[in-house]
Amino acid sequence: MEANYFASNLRIDGSHEGLGIDNKYTILDYYNLPLEMERFLYK
């Protein structure tokens, strides 16, 4: 579980912030991460 948390934070670099994406599922899709990782996003 810690590895998934670390991997999701490493992959998400913040480049989505300028695009107006505010839905966590859209953020996961933008970074090509599985939807199961949504529990690691705090939005």
pLDDT in tens, 1-43: 677 777 777 788 888 888 988 888 998 999 898 998 888 887 5
b/e string for 18-42 if b means 16 or more Cβ within 10 A?
A: eeeeeebeebbeeeebeeebeebee
Structurally, how many domains does the chain consist of?
Answer: 1
Give the domain extent around 31: 2-40
Measured on CA atoms in the order 10, 14, 19, 24, is the torsion positive or negative?
A: positive
Amino acid 1: pLDDT: 64
